[in-house]
Amino acid sequence: GAVVSQHPSWVICKSGTSVKIECRSLDFQATTMFWYRQFPKQSLMLMATSNEGSKATYEQGVEKDKFLINHASLTLSTLTVTSAHPEDSSFYICSAVTWAGTRDNEQFFGPGTRLTVL
Amino acid sequence: GESVGLHLPTLSVQEGDNSIINCAYSNSASDYFIWYKQESGKGPQFIIDIRSNMDKRQGQRVTVLLNKTVKHLSLQIAATQPGDSAVYFCAENDSWGKLQFGAGTQVVVTP
């Protein structure tokens, strides 16, 4: 159980376009989802915390107008990279939290989305 | 600021040997730590966790040790196998449920 999916798994887009990435909890309800960004050979950096039905909370240095997050239901959060540029190319990973799990605050991670901006 | 970091960026281990991956943390108030395994092109996979009221926890072939005195965490993998080749991260879970990841250690298992 506790499966998280992401779509698409990879995407290539032209500079200036917008890209939407979906994060779904398949078999549980997630009141909170997190979005991370990971550059090659580096660690995961938290971008924002997404709570169902409310505005996302962004980490310091993350542009909220560039990385739009919507968490409209208990099983879906979306990240839209607006006006993407080559420096936005990265591996984007989401995680979801279920408070009914056996471990407090356990985050279940999605498989990631590889974004390449040309 | 507070940080969680690793001592060794790359660890080469012969198949069958034990692996030890280290992690230092700076926030003495931290009370919950998690080790993750990440294979290339995939999301992190939970391995084992430990709370600050414990100093050791064992799982299947893995053991996590916590030394609060020196703020040090380690992951031991017994009888390392080729499938253990991956990047391993320690992470600190704050009271808000947010994770702060360490830099990561690449484990390479050689035959």
Contacts of A69 (CB under 8 A, 6+ apart): A35, A48, A50, A56, A77, A78, A79, A80
- Whether chain B has a CB inside 8 Å of the CB on A90: the answer is no
Quick one: closest CA in A to B37, which residue? A109
CA atoms lying within 13 Å on the CB side of residue A45: 14
Q: Which of residues 57-86 of A touch B (CB under 8 A)?
A: none
Count chain A–chain B contacts defined by CB atoms under 8 A. 48
List CB contacts (< 8 A) between B45 and chain A.
Answer: 109
What is each CA distance from B74 to A21, B2, B34, B38, B110, in whole angstroms? Answer: 34, 19, 10, 17, 21
Our CA-based measurement puts residue A38 at a distance from the nearest CA of chain B, in whole angstroms, of: 10
pLDDT of residue A101: 46
Indicate the burial class of A63 (C-beta count within 10 angstroms; 0-12, 13-18, 19 or more).
exposed
List CB contacts (< 8 A) between A93 and chain B.
Answer: 43-44
Q: Does the distance separating the beta carbons of B41 and A114 come in below 8 Å?
A: yes
- State how far the Cα of A34 lies from the Cα of A48, in Å rounded to an integer: 6
SS3 A79: strand
pLDDT (tens digit per residue) in A46-57 = 999 998 888 999
- State how far the Cα of B43 lies from the Cα of A19, in Å rounded to an integer: 20
Indicate the burial class of B66 (C-beta count within 10 angstroms; 0-12, 13-18, 19 or more).
buried
pLDDT (tens digit per residue) in B25-79 = 888 888 899 999 999 999 999 999 999 999 999 999 999 999 999 999 999 999 9
Q: For the stretch A20-53, what's the b/e string if a residue is b when 16 or more beta carbons lie within 10 angstroms of its beta carbon?
A: ebbbbbeebebbbbbbbbbeeeebbbbbbbbbbe
Selection from B31, B99, B33 nearest residue A46 by Cα = B99
pLDDT (tens digit per residue) in A68-111 = 999 989 999 999 999 999 999 999 999 998 765 445 567 899 99
B54, B33 in Cβ contact below 8 A? no
**Token representation of residue B78:** 């017994």
Q: Does the distance separating the beta carbons of B32 and A111 come in below 8 Å?
A: no
Our CA-based measurement puts residue A91 at a distance from the nearest CA of chain B, in whole angstroms, of: 8
Work out the mean pLDDT of chain A and round it to a whole number. 92
- Whether chain A has a CB inside 8 Å of the CB on B27: the answer is no
Q: Nearest Cβ partner of B101 from A43, A104, A108?
A: A43
